[in-house]
Amino acid sequence: MNTGAGEPMTTESRVAQIWVETLKHDQFGPEDNFFAVGGHSMFATLVTYRLRDEWGIEFPLSLIFEHSTVRDLASVIDRAKADSVGSDTVTG
């Protein structure tokens, strides 16, 4: 995935984009809290499925509750990608 400017999209910007598409807001910043901006358990479930599809990793729903900002979720995903040798499950 890229930003359209020829540069790859960062994990953080892709997480924010998934939130935009799911929550139907214009944009989200790195410190926006999923639940403070209108997210709830049903939206969290949808976002979880999108994250699983995007990165091909098992992403427990509980992580959105534990890491509820764009930046925190992106950091968890980046760590999981770096540690993914032999494991496809993200842990917080």
Domain ranges of the chain: 11-82
Buried b (16+ CB within 10 A) or exposed e, 33-66: ebeebebeeebbeebbebbeebbebebeeebbee
pTM higher than 0.85: no
pLDDT band for 57, please (50, 70, 90 cuts): confident
SS3 15: helix
Residue 5 CB neighbour total at 10 angstroms: 6
Q: Which fold has domain 11-82?
A: 1.10.1200
pLDDT above 50: residue 2: no
What is the Cα gyration radius of the chain? 12
